[in-house]
């Protein structure tokens, strides 16, 4: 499905990013994974290689413009310009009431969750324009549309991601570059594990009960489910742009949830 395509996946060292990278590689893409932790990146590359895929890793802080430029340049030198960008890197903190959140922690959350998507998208767009095609997939969250106490910085950053996705999609329509937001739902990742490790004082009773209940109720999805959706959106035939949603949302374009 993606034979000959070049994909970059940020936050590709573990969890959802790793699952997406593996799925893209299995669909035929040459995949470059980026994150700040080299050991995790090497594990993802090994998993892909073990399955017969092609992958490379580039240690990157995606909130740093110089690192992002190096990432895109390094991938282009080895595989060619990117056809697919999956903006997955993210962080959940700082947690707690907005009135108590420090400015530096707030800025860091927006830098990793939103500014990084702006930087990476800007960096790959010239190559996509040159190729005459491209797919940008921004990983978002349902919290972007919900007012949940004590996880405000994360929710605000994802709300920004949603609007960025829609605006960029509109601006790139004439270049055959599609931009969409993928909401994976509640996925069983290290981020959820981190949240479960917080006490009720930090999360507050409502968020604490929600986080604990997801695990106890068996409501967390396996990362591979959202990875399948990423592959679907990345396919040339999908033609979808400017959309933000979960698996259910993309069913109207022919996506089918695995049995």
Maximum alpha-carbon separation in the chain: 52
Sheet holding 177-182, edge to edge: 54-59, 30-35, 6-10, 84-87, 134-139, 177-182, 244-245
Strand partners, 56: 32
Cβ-count burial of 252 within 10 angstroms (0-12 exposed, 13-18 middle, 19+ buried)? exposed
Residue with token string 């405000």: 152
What is the C-alpha to C-alpha distance for residues 222 and 74, in angstroms, rounded to an integer?
31
Cα–Cα distance measured from residue 27 to residue 18, given in angstroms and rounded to the nearest whole number = 14
Bridge partners of 34, per DSSP, are 10, 58
Among 154, 175, 194, 208, the one annotated catalytic: 154
- Rounded CA-CA distance 38/50 in Å is 18
- Phi, psi values for residue 98, rounded to 5°: -55, -35
Cβ(28)–Cβ(2) under 8 Å? yes
Q: How many Å apart are CA 175 and CA 214, to the nearest integer?
A: 41
CA distance 114 to 36: 17
Known catalytic residue: 154?
yes
Q: Which residues are catalytic?
A: 154
């Amino acid at each position: 499905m993606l034979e000959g395509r070049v994909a970059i996946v940020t936050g590709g060292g573990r969890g959802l990013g790793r699952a997406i990278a593996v799925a893209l590689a299995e669909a035929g893409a040459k995949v470059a994974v980026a994150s700040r932790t080299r050991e995790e990146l090497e594990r993802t590359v090994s998993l892909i290689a073990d399955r017969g895929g092609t992958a490379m890793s580039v240690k990157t802080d995606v909130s740093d413009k110089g690192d992002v430029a190096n990432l895109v340049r390094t991938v282009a030198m080895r595989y060619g310009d990117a056809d697919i960008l999956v903006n997955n890197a993210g962080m959940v903190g700082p947690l707690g009431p907005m009135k108590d959140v420090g400015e530096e922690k707030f800025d860091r959350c927006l830098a990793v969750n939103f500014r990084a998507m702006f930087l990476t998208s800007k960096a790959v767009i010239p190559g996509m324009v040159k190729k005459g095609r491209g797919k940008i997939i921004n990983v978002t969250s349902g919290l972007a549309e919900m007012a949940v106490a004590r996880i405000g910085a994360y929710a605000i950053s994802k709300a920004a991601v949603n609007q960025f996705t829609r605006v960029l999609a509109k601006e790139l329509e004439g270049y055959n570059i599609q931009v969409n937001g993928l909401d994976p739902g509640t996925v069983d990742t290290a981020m959820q594990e981190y949240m479960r490790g917080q006490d009720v004082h930090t999360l507050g009773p409502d968020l604490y009960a929600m986080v604990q209940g997801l695990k106890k109720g068996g409501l967390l999805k396996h990362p591979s489910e959202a990875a399948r959706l990423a592959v679907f959106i990345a396919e040339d035939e999908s033609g979808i742009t400017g959309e933000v949603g979960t698996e259910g949302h993309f069913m109207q374009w022919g996506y089918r949830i695995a049995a």
